[in-house]
Structure formats: structure tokens, C-alpha cells
Amino acid sequence: MQDLVIQGFTPPLRLADFRLAAFDMDSTLISIECIDEIAAVAGRGAEVAAITEAAMRGEISDFKDSLRRRLALLQGVPASVLEHVLRERLQFNPGARELCAALKAAGLKLLLVSGGFTYFTSYVAEQLGMDFVRSNELELADGRLTGGLVMQAWGEICDGEEKRRMLLQCCAELGCQPSQAMAVGDGANDLPMMSVAGLSVAYHAKPKVREQAMVAINQGGLQSLLGLLQ
């Protein structure tokens, strides 16, 4: 497998032509799938991880259903597990900080859009200087996960279609075209936003995502994307 695969356009690209960069979180900006780590700490890892893998590969077409199934398995898990995962297991992928810093320095706005959870996206967004964030909020009762999510003003579950809608909403707010946005992800639920962006980047991604992206980074860090942008 080639380290960097370019398809669908001829470089070089001009960084100045872009106004927005949208990022998935789990397995893209960070090295873990947070829901799998929560399940692993709680002793329910194998079953949850299997559903996550199938969903990210596109073998389960309904992301909302797959998320609800995984959350149901976490009912009753102490909220303290979230803190443990954040402090002990969450690590940024190589080049994440460098790429985001370079894009911000070039004047781009950054969007973090995740099928993961606000407990983690809040931290990642603060660390990387995100301008927009959309993700799911875990419901807690008596210090434990209920197995459900909190309804937010925009809806309950950030799935692939919501990622796409959020990218388009941010473009409208910035007064730019979707062709002036780049989208970076690794799983099947990133494909809708990648399909409307001017540049789609698959990072250490599932086969279905690698095949459809304009750029696939298969080895090394996220900062390698900067080599394509002048």
C-alpha cells in the first residue's frame, strides 16, 4: 500500500483557495475510538468494538442504529470511566497538532464533527483550536451512563448526513463554497461530508473510504497533507 495516494485531481493545490477544514475525531485526529475504550475499561470491549468496526467499514449502513446498539451495552457504566479514557488513553495522532496549527495560521477555520461524544470533543477542540464543533452528548443519571444521548438543538445523533449538513452550514456561515472546504476522515460515516468538499482526505482509513477519497494518507502523520498544499 502506498504511503500517500492521490486520485481525482492534479496537485499542487493552493492552501489560499481553502476557507474551511472539517475533521472527524476518532481514529483521525486521535488514535482511539472513544466508545471502544469506554467499553474496554468497563469490561464490554469485544462486542462494542465489533459493531464499531463494522460501522466504520460501511458494513452497517445505519450509523444511528449501530451507535444506539453500542450505547445500550454501556448502560450503567460509571461516568468516571470517561475521565479515565480521556486522561489515560486519548492520544493525538501524529501531525494532528501541526496540521491544525498550519491551517489556522493560513486563515482557515476548523470544524470538528464527530459521531463521538462531547466529553472528548470539548477537550480535542480546545487543544487544536477548533472554531466549530458538533458531536453527541452522553446522557448521565446518578453518575452513570444511561445508554442514551441528550437531545441537542440540532438533533440527537451526529451521523454521516449530519456531518455533511454541518460542513455545508459552516461554509454558508463563512460565505464560501463547499469547494473551498477540505474534509478529513477515516470511516464510512465521513463519506457524506467528504463527497461535498473540494478536497477529501482519507487518513489511515477503511478500504471503502480510501477508494473514494481524493487523497489517501496510508502511512505517517497528518502533517504530510501540508506537502500537497502550497
Structural domain range at position 177 = 4-32+92-228
**Residues carrying an active site annotation:** 24, 26
Indicate whether 50 belongs to any domain: no
Indicate whether 61 belongs to any domain: no
DSSP the chain: --SEEE-SS-S-B-GGG--EEEE--BTTTBSS-HHHHHHHHTT-HHHHHHHHHHHHTTSS--HHHHHHHHHHHTTT-BTHHHHHHHHHT--BPTTHHHHHHHHHHTT-EEEEEEEEEHHHHHHHHHHHT-SEEEEE-EEEETTEEEEEE--BTTBS---HHHHHHHHHHHHHHHT--GGGEEEEE-SGGGHHHHHHSSEEEEES--HHHHHHSSEEE-SS-GGGGGGGB-
Write the CATH number for 117.
Answer: 3.40.50.1000
Indicate whether 110 belongs to any domain: yes
Indicate whether 72 belongs to any domain: no
Indicate whether 52 belongs to any domain: no
Position 134 scores a pLDDT of: 98
Indicate whether 189 belongs to any domain: yes
Position 10 scores a pLDDT of: 61
Q: How many domains does the chain have?
A: 1
Q: What is the pTM of this model?
A: 0.95
Position 9 scores a pLDDT of: 67
pLDDT tens-place values along the chain, 230 residues long: 678 888 876 656 899 999 999 999 999 999 999 999 999 999 999 999 999 999 989 898 899 999 999 999 999 999 999 999 999 999 999 999 999 999 999 999 999 999 999 999 999 999 999 999 999 999 999 999 999 999 999 999 999 999 999 999 999 999 999 999 999 999 999 999 999 999 999 999 999 999 999 999 999 999 999 988 87
Indicate whether 57 belongs to any domain: no
What are the pLDDT digits (tens) for 34-80?
A: 999 999 999 999 999 999 999 989 898 899 999 999 999 999 999 99
Indicate whether 125 belongs to any domain: yes
Position 12 scores a pLDDT of: 66
